[in-house]
Amino acid sequence: MGNTSEGSLRMDAPTTYTTPNLGSTGPDGKKLITQMDFARAGIVTPAMAHVAEREKRDPEFIRAGVAAGRIAIPANIRHLEQGLEPRGVGEGLSTKVNVNLGISGDVADADVEWEKVHTAERFGADAIMDLSNSGKTRFFRQELVQKSPLMIGTVPMYDAIGYMEKPLVKLTVDDLLEVTRAHAEDGVDFLTIHCGINKSVVKTFKETGRLMNIVSRGGSLLFGWMEVTGNENPFFEFYDEILKICHEFDVTISLGDSCRPGCLYDANDAVETAEMIELGKLTRRAWDAGVQVMIEGPGHMPINEIEANVRLEKSLCHGAPYYVLGPLVTDIGVGYDHITAAIGGAISASAGADFLCYVTPAEHLCLPDAKDVLDGLIATKIAAHAADIAKGVPGARNVDDRMGDARRRLAWDEMWQYALDPVTSRARYEASPASTEGTCTMCGKMCAVRTVNKVFEGTTIDLDAE
């Protein structure tokens, strides 16, 4: 079962399968609201049962994981009411994939963003992060929650300047708490909050230095705010207030890595590690408050350092689910960073990372379009699936075996059913028709599969006659 936590001490509570009542109270008399609350009270919620069915796991396995913090089910109570299909993120479960989208100051076309949403839903994303950072974004966010069954994540810090109509340095603690509450009230399932970049971590950053400094957008904004005002990071200083908001709506807190490495040179350096230590402390505090947690990770990282980074997160953050961006395994794949990230993603997930944020070919260059979203999503799903096979996730390899059998039989229509992107694969096949029935133009009548099939069928092989 892996590492345990304080939550695991309550795993011997009797398990029930009744529909949770938000007026229920636990053994300690406290009101049960979050999935973690119910799990620790020994109750399997419908969301947990749904995750268990999807993952081919026993419901008790899911409940115990949620109680211990090893599994998170990001499921805002308001989004559940509007059609969220719950998904589990964490130990023993399939690796999840997130798609980023959202309106920017330079490209603000909601229709394009909705095309990206539909692409994400059609091709099997598990989550969408709305990273809109310009103008009034609340209507798009609310509509996204209402219309999409996928987990929805946001970063309140991105939205704060436009939402409050203030310059960065004029934002107050109350402003940031108000924006955070607005996102929770809108039904967002997980919030990236950059709590770990406190004055201590900033001191380490200044003392040790970096090649690329701070590349996290939210982290850079908070660093700038702290430097100008001289105050502590408000998300760190008033963390308990953030936790109250998250608990009220069962929002999973995704502890942002403000100091993730933006290049190989900065990977696994002192400041990244210092922040991860802080995130581990904040994880315990969130669990004590009944709030589910995910930890965000790199970034850019050499292949040979990835496994150690995952192991470090699992140790310092007590087995909490790890949500990584890539990592990108080289800095020079510009224009093809969906590939550099998929390589790192497969390695990190096979080593124990639980959630992959996709990277598109547009990374480092521009806002991605719908085609970039598709390319990034499929590359990341390949990485996640490859890792699930390596991790022995129940049923992960079944579809590969079915694909192998269909290929042996040259059952092309059946192959499209198993492909991660059946649209592109079928279109490529049909655009280059083979002269020999049942084959493709790579080998034609010399198709190895066809030849061996003919041998076993007792059919004469005469390539010249064909």
Higher pLDDT, 398 or 460: 398
The answer for residues whose C-beta is within 8 angstroms of residue 135's C-beta and 6 or more apart is: 103, 105, 108, 162
Q: What is the pLDDT of residue 6?
A: 32
Q: Can you give the pLDDT at residue 164?
A: 83
pLDDT-above-90 percentage for the chain: 83
d(CA 352, CA 256): 18
How does the average pLDDT of the chain come out, rounded? Answer: 92
Please give the Cα distance from 79 to 179 (Å, whole number): 18
Contact 272, 259 (CB under 8 A): yes
First to last CA, the chain: 58
For residue 122, the model assigns a pLDDT of: 96
- Does residue 251 surpass a pLDDT of 90? yes
Q: Name the more confident of 103 and 394.
A: 394
The predicted pLDDT at position 28 comes to 66
Q: Which amino acid is at 49?
A: A
Q: What is the pLDDT of residue 466?
A: 61
In 143-246, the DSSP E strands lie at: 151-154, 190-193
Q: Are 132 and 158 in contact (CB under 8 A)?
A: yes
In this prediction, residue 23 carries a pLDDT of 62
**CA 48: distance to chain centroid?**
18
If one compares 35 and 460, the residue with the highest pLDDT of the two is: 35
pLDDT of res. 40? 97
| Cβ–Cβ < 8 Å for 62, 30 | no
Decide: 70 and 323 in contact? Cβ < 8 Å.
Answer: no
Q: For residue range 177-210, list pLDDT tens digits in order.
A: 999 999 999 999 999 999 999 999 999 999 999 9
**Does the pLDDT at position 17 exceed 50?**
no
Collapsing DSSP states into helix, strand and coil, what is residue 152? strand
Q: Of 291, 309, 288, give the one whose Cα is nearest residue 300.
A: 309
**pLDDT at residue 106 in the model:** 63
Q: What is the pLDDT of residues 109-129, one digit of tens each?
A: 788 999 999 999 999 999 999
User: Mind listing the pLDDT tens digit for each residue in 216-227?
Assistant: 999 999 999 999
Q: What is the pLDDT of residue 22?
A: 58
Q: What pLDDT does residue 135 have?
A: 65
Q: Would you state the pLDDT for residue 111?
A: 87
**355, 380 contact by CB (below 8 A):** no
Q: Inform me whether the pLDDT recorded for 435 exceeds 60.
A: yes
297 by DSSP, 3-state: which?
A: strand
**316 neighbors 354 (Cβ within 8 angstroms):** no
pTM over cut 0.85: yes
Return the pLDDT at 97.
98
**What residues does 255 pair with on adjacent strands?**
193, 295
Give the mean model confidence (pLDDT) for residues 49-73.
Answer: 98
Residues 126-151 have pLDDT tens digits of 999 999 877 678 889 999 999 999 99
Is the pLDDT reported for residue 264 higher than 70? yes
- Residue 400 pLDDT > 90: yes
CA of residue 325 relative to chain centroid, distance: 8
Across 429-451, average pLDDT: 93
Provide the pLDDT confidence category of residue 20 given band limits of 50, 70 and 90: low
Low-confidence winner among 288-292, 399-403, 461-465 (lowest mean pLDDT): 461-465
Q: Which residues of 320-345 are buried (b: 16+ CB within 10 A; e: fewer)?
A: bbbbbbbbbbbbebeeebbbbbbbbb
Are 245 and 285 in contact by the 8 Å Cβ rule? The answer is no
Tens-digit pLDDT profile for residues 323-378: 999 999 999 999 999 999 999 999 999 999 999 999 999 999 999 999 999 999 99
Considering only residues 108 and 187, tell me which one the structure prediction assigns the higher pLDDT. Answer: 187
